[in-house]
Amino acid sequence: MSIGENYRRIASQVADCAQEQGRDAGQVCLIAVSKTVDAPVVAQAIAAGAHDFGENRPECLVQKAQAYPDQNWHFIGNIQSRRIGDIVEHACLIHSLFQESHARKISSHAASLGKVQDVLIEVNVSGEESKGGCTPAQAIDLVRCCLELPGVRPRGLMTMAPQGSREEALRTFQGLAQLRDQIRSAMEPDDAAVFNELSMGMSEDWPEAIACGATMVRIGRAIFSEEPLVLK
Ligand SMILES: *Cc1c(COP(=O)(O)O)cnc(C)c1O
C-alpha cells in the first residue's frame, strides 16, 4: 500500500464511520500525524487529499510547516516553554496545553504576532501515570484561565486512551465528551459556541473515538507506515 492509498482508505473509513453515527462526513477532521516521516513524504499525503497534519516536535513542526505552508499544521506534542514562540508561529491548533504557565506564554507570543492561538486542553482522563495532561478538575480551571488571556482561545479538549483495551478506550473517550459538555454548559454563550472540539482517537482506536463524538482524529501509523497495521 502506498501512503496515498493509505490516506484515501482511512479518509473514506473515517467519513463512513461519521455517517454511521448520523453525522456529516466533514464533521470529523482527519489529522495525518506525520511525525515519523520526512518532509518529502508529506507531499504524497497532500496529493491524496490531506490538508491537516500533526507534529509532536517543535523543530519538525517548523520545518514541515515552512515546506508546506498551505496546509494546516497541528501541534500535538509536549510543550517546552522555550519553544513556545516557534509553536505559536506555525500551529493552527495546539492540542496539548495543560499548564497555566504555558497558556500565559502562548498568549503573549500570539499577541506579539497579532494572532489569537486556538488551543485544546489535554486531559488525562484515564489517570495513567505515563500519560500527559491535567486532571478533569484542573481542566475547568485552565479553561477559565485561558478565557482571561487575550491571545488564547480554548476550542475544546484532547486525550489519549490507554492502549490495548476497547472498553477502556471507550470509557476514556466518553469521559472526555462528558467533560467537554460540562465545561461548555458553564461558559458564556459566545465562548461555548467555539468550545466544541474533541481531539481523540489514533490508529488503533479511532472508530471508538468517533462513536463517542470525536471531531478530530489523529492518525499516524495507519497512514504513514508501509506495513499494514494489524488491529488487535
Ligand atoms: C503519534 C501520535 C498520534 C498518532 O498515533 P498512531 O498510533 O501512529 O496513529 C496521535 N496523537 C499523538 C499525541 C501522538 O503523539
pLDDT for the residue 232:
47
- Taking the CA of residue 219 as reference, the ligand 1 atom at the shortest distance is 9
The answer to whether the beta carbons of residues 33 and 72 sit under 8 Å apart is no
Cα–ligand 1 centroid distance for 227 (angstroms): 16
Cα–ligand 1 centroid distance for 190 (angstroms): 31
From 34, 52, 76, the mutation candidate for ligand 1 (largest count of ligand atoms within 8 A of CB) is: 76
Below-70 pLDDT ranges, the chain? 228-232
Say how far apart CA 148 and CA 155 lie, in whole Å. 14
pLDDT for the residue 7:
97
- For residue 54, what are the β-bridge partners? 33, 74
pLDDT for the residue 147:
98
- Residues enclosing ligand 1, CB less than 6 A? 33, 35, 56, 76, 160, 202-203, 218-222
> Residue by residue, what is the 3-state secondary structure of the chain?
CCHHHHHHHHHHHHHHHHHHCCCCHHHCEEEEECCCCCHHHHHHHHHCCCCEEEECCHHHHHHHHHHCCCCEEEECCCCCHHHHHHHHHHCCEEEEECCHHHHHHHHHHHHHHCCCEEEEEEECCCCCCCCCCECHHHHHHHHHHHHHCCCEEEEEEECCCCCCCHHHHHHHHHHHHHHHHHHHHCCCHHHHHHCCEEECCCCCCHHHHHHCCCCEEEECHHHHCCCCCCCC
pLDDT for the residue 130:
84
Closest residue by CA, ligand 1 atom 11: 218
pLDDT in tens, 9-52: 999 999 999 999 999 988 999 999 999 999 999 999 999 999 99
Helices 100-113, 136-148: inter-axial angle, 10-degree rounding: 30
Q: Return the C-alpha torsion angle 191, 177, 156, 194, nearest 10.
A: -40
Cα–ligand 1 centroid distance for 199 (angstroms): 11
Instruction: Give residue 9's identity as a one-letter amino acid code.
Output: R
pTM for the predicted model, two decimal places: 0.96
Cα–ligand 1 centroid distance for 101 (angstroms): 25
Instruction: Give residue 68's identity as a one-letter amino acid code.
Output: Y
Residue 156 sits at the vertex; the CA angle it makes with 144 and 53, to the nearest 5 degrees, is 135
pLDDT for the residue 228:
62
Neighbours of 232 (CB within 10 A): 7
Cα–ligand 1 centroid distance for 98 (angstroms): 18
Closest residue by CA, ligand 1 atom 13: 76
pLDDT in tens, 43-52: 999 999 999 9
* CA 42 to chain centroid: 18
Per the listing, cell 454548559 goes with 185
